[in-house]
Copies of this chain bind each other. A is one copy, B any other.
Amino acid sequence: MRDDEGMPQLRLALAQVDACVGDLAGNADLVVEWTRKGVQSGAHLVVFPEMVLTGYPVEDLALRESFAAASRRALDALAGRLVDAGCGDAVVVVGYLDRDAAGPRNAAAVLHGGGVVARYHKHHLPNYGVFDEFRYFVPGDELPIVRVRGLDLGVVICEDIWQDGGPIAALGEAGVDLVLCVNGSPYERSKDDVRRELVARRAAEARAPMAYVNLVGGQDELVFDGDSLVVSADGELLARAPQFVEHLLVLDMDLPAGGHTGSGPIGGFDVRRAVLSEQASAAYEPLPAPPVAEPLPDEAEVWSALVTGLRDYVQKNGFKSVVLGLSGGIDSAVVAALAVDAVGAAAVHGVSMPSQYSSEHSRGDAAELARRTGLHFSVQPIADQVRVFVEQLGLTGLAEENIQARCRGMTLMALSNQHGHLVLATGNKTELAVGYSTIYGDAVGGYAPIKDVPKTLVWQLARWRNAEAEKRGEAPPIPENSISKPPSAELRPGQLDADSLPDYELLDDVLDDYVEGDRGYADLLEAGFAPELVERVLRMVDLAEYKRRQYPPGPKITFKAFGRDRRLPITNGWREHAVG
């Protein structure tokens, strides 16, 4: 038995799960399954991420009345199913899409005993980066506090803790014993440990510990990394889940019951209290504290994000296998290695598609990659198709180069149609930024796994992945020659990327400042880049918007990924490099 019997105990379970947008039935099953796991672990309270029942983000589905009505019905049915599953005693917090007279709501419900005992509507609606919530949802200003086993629990949703002056301050003033923050917070590279620091700061503001539970898994271009955690009121990290895996984080907490009573209008909110159970749990022996997961090192974190995004895109869209072109170069080699890690070598089909300009080493490197990874390998020369197009249409120069890339794209799409594979595009972020790709050629595909990975990071990831394999005593998947040779599109004799582009190290530096850093021409000159280089790069970037829009979706690892949240005009007379 425990010593400090005066302090109520709570066994908390954070269910870091992988929901699929729109799949109300599947997501409800997920909630039942993981609640049951929580209850089997003795948890009193099981908390799920933001909009777990609908998946996140639902985009325009939020505006469909029939979908919102189905979400509300699914929530009610879920409350009943939890009782049937023997989880009626547990308190379960579930994010869902609500809708009332004011409009759609990003909501969280507290379920207990077969019914909904409280609902909270997200107050702060983010409308930047990947978020369009102000477009879709109506903000809430009611703040429920639910007493469970004598402890007062507040619920907030994601952005509510990222902006000042929201519900956390009101909860602090009203008084709570624990704050539950449910999230759909996408992975972003090199954010340092901002989440943990933020949660600690808000816990202090709420004068209560905070439990932060996040989605995990890929949804279109977003990758959720999990990283659920619990922080004490004074900022101590009590528990942390591993990234990029589904996980149930179970933690026993001793919480001083404050006997709070604040309600009514507080800090712009209407605070409403509900009592589920006044009686604290009978004292019990707590579980050992769960291990505190360490955030992954940079390359491992990026690799995991890319693998997670790819695996979920394949699986959630119902594909059983993928196909990609293997040129022998670094990009396709890294995408192949990612695909093998994501869906297994047996589900990966690599196709070498040599033309008359393909070098011997390219074909050899592609075959070597296949040998090392065990993926299915085939060779489909494109010379005959290219010859017909070139001769019939009298193609020369760029038109002749592009038709080669396009015959490869057509070959991959035909194999996809014939065999049901998802086609992977192998372009990287640097190419996408400057438009160094062929629309309907190498840009063909349903998913582009390294779309947000700059070329220099592609090399870095290749070396890291090979080193990891060596550490594990496995064969490094990527042929050394693919990493070390000078990059070439091989669309004409002796062609090298360096003929058309600046050195990749330098190019990525300029792009990082221009795209991610949003610096203008003058800032870039001030940063020491040569004017001719800056003008050349900016001209390419400014003119490539149409190509970028036609590129398949891919996992986002930076704030300024090229994709749905970054919208530049296509018809655009602005030339950044032309102004001082």
Contacts and interface: CB of A to CB of B under 8 A. Distances in A.
> Which bucket holds chain A's interface residue count?
35 or more
A573 B22 contact: yes
Interface in A331-364: none
A141 interface: no
A433 to B, nearest CB: 14
A579 B70 contact: yes
A418 B440 contact: no
Given A61-B568, A127-B135, A23 B393 contact: no
A410 B406 contact: yes
A395 interface: yes
Given A395-B418, A413-B406, A417-B402, A571 B312 contact: yes
A356 B219 CA distance: 42
A392 B380 contact: yes
Given A520-B64, A572-B22, A567 B59 contact: yes
Given A392-B384, A564-B567, A546 B414 contact: no
A460 interface: no
A512 to B, nearest CB: 16
Contacts of A402: 413-414, 417
Interface string A513-543: 0000011111100000000000000000000
Nearest to A383: B388
Given A134-B127, A518-B64, A569-B220, A403 B410 contact: yes
A317 B570 contact: yes
B414 A518 contact: no
Nearest to A578: B25
A55 interface: yes
B135 A569 contact: no
A392 B386 CA distance: 13
Contacts of A407: 410
A431 B27 CA distance: 32
A440 B573 CA distance: 28
Contacts of A440: 409-410, 413, 440, 444
A163 interface: no
Interface string A353-381: 00000000000000000000000000010
A316 interface: yes
A97 to B, nearest CB: 11
Nearest to A568: B60
Nearest to A314: B571
Contact of A132 (B20, B135, B522, B579): B135
A63 to B, nearest CB: 7
A568 B59 contact: yes
Contacts of A395: 414, 417-418
Interface in A384-400: 384-385, 388-389, 392-396, 398-399
Interface string A271-296: 00000000000000000000000000
A148 interface: no
Contact of A59 (B70, B218, B410, B569): B569
User: What 4 A-B pairs have minimum CB-CB distances, sorted nearest first?
Assistant: A23-B573, A66-B520, A22-B574, A399-B417
27 contacts: A22-B572, A22-B574, A24-B574, A58-B569, A61-B568, A61-B572, A64-B520, A66-B579, A67-B520, A67-B576, A69-B520, A127-B127, A132-B132, A220-B569, A316-B573, A317-B570, A317-B571, A380-B393, A385-B392, A388-B388, A393-B418, A395-B414, A399-B414, A399-B417, A403-B414, A406-B410, A550-B552
Given A67-B520, A69-B520, A393-B415, 10 more contacts: A23-B574, A59-B567, A59-B568, A127-B134, A218-B571, A316-B571, A398-B417, A406-B410, A440-B444, A550-B552
